[in-house]
Structure 1
Amino acid sequence: APKYVGNALTLCSWVNGDKRWERVVQGWLQFDEAVGFEPSSKEYARLPTAGRPKEVGTWISHARSATFHPDVTLPRFADEFAKWWRAMQPEGRDVIEGEFIGLTKPADIDWTELKISGSNGMVSVVGALAWWYKAAYDLPKEKTSKTGRSGQKRELEIRKLNQVLDEVIYTFGKLNES
């Protein structure tokens, strides 16, 4: 496997995530491995950069280093990721109002334009999720201030993260079957 795969897997293990996280990583690996870790087509060689969190671009410019761990700020990073993710979805997947990342799941979606493998593909989504996961779980569990908001912030950010992980697991499932 190419170097970017090893780097991404090292980054993924640094997260020390739960079963949901493992399903994201397995979904990505299965997807990229199916096309030999190469871009699946010349037309779809890279994910869109519009609205992409700046940390992702910096990671790419650092050759997708396994040890690049940007200090992501929540909720800013979560909001940017959600916008980027929604913008790259194929036609027919509509935003579900009132949900952080909710998108409709019609049966007749053409996933072609999201089947972006290789070093400029879905690995960037996995990298971004790794930093977000770590940042959310590193938030304080206890009330550290008189307002008691920090523990609530952690719960809220983990809830948003889990919605996104479920959405990404769903998407990898569709990419792997189409």
Structure 2
Amino acid sequence: MEATWGNLKGASSDRRWQKLLRDFVMYESAGPAAGNLSTTKRPKAISDWIQSKKKAVIPSLPASYPDQWAAWWDALQPKWRAGADGPLSKIIGEDAEWSSLHKGGKSGFYTIVVSLGWLVHTFPIAARVWELVEDVAWVLSKLRLLPTTSGAASSSSRKKDAIPEPTFIGSSRKR
């Protein structure tokens, strides 16, 4: 996992990306229930990566990957965020729910962050990429406010699917 984390940290030094990574670590540290994200519209590159078991390898991405990733991101959103061919809503109503995204562990938000990292690494100057980074960061900031449904992060099922402890997240990995 350290190699994958190195890929994520190294994807970009842009402050927006680095903040998203810090927020992701805080989200996972809170112990959200592990869960699987929907595979509807998920890019083939992500499915291939999952099956390859080579988690530290950044796959070769097609030129269409930014659009594929954006379509998957849109498909993952709660219904209340859907816009009519416009930006996703950021107006949160009283009955707003996040169950389609509030999923921790390796099959949850981790997959979003890793696959977005490939996008940032491979297409660093595409404006659409940074719009996606900002939207993912916004969603993550809202998910961090939700109560965890898994109880304590130390449950045995949580440990099995856990993201590694953020002991090596600082600017230096020396101990």
Assess if the C-alpha contact under 8 Å between 1:7 and 1:64 holds in 2: no
CA distance in 1, matches of 2:54, 2:107: 10
Q: Structure 1 residues 17, 173: closer, same or farther in 2, change over 3 A?
A: same
Cross-structure match for 2:66: 78
Aligned counterpart, 1:69: 58
TM alignment of 1:16-165, pairs within 5 A = 16-35=12-31, 40=33, 45-63=35-53, 65-66=55-56, 68-74=57-63, 76-95=64-83, 97-98=85-86, 102-108=87-93, 109-137=96-124, 154=125, 158-165=126-133
TM-score computed with the length of structure 1 as normaliser = 0.73
Structure 1: gaps (5+ residues): 138-153
CA distance in 2, matches of 1:103, 1:33: 27
- What's the CA shift string for 1:60-95, capped at 9, x where partnerless? 2233522x1112123x10111111111111121122
- Separation in 2 of the partners of 1:159 and 1:48? 26
Out of 5, 17, 24, the position equivalent to 1:9 is 5
Q: Which has the higher contact order (CA 8 A, sep 6+)?
A: 2
Percent of residue pairs identical: 24
Aligned to 1:151: none
**After TM superposition, which residue ranges in structure 1, 4 or more long, deviate above 3 angstroms?**
none
More helix by share: 1
Quote the RMSD (CA, aligned, Å). Answer: 1.8
Structure 2: distance between partners of 1:77 and 1:17: 21
Give unmatched runs, 5+ long, in structure 2. Answer: 147-175
Q: Deviations over 1:115-150 (max 9, x none)?
A: 11101011111111111111113xxxxxxxxxxxxx
Aligned to 1:146: none
Q: Residue 170 of structure 1: which of 138, 142, 145 is its match?
A: 138
How far apart, CA to CA, are the structure 1 residues paired with 2:98 and 2:38?
A: 15
Measure the CA separation in 2 of the matches of 1:16 and 1:87: 26
* TM-score, normalised via structure 2 length: 0.75
Q: How many residues are aligned here?
A: 144
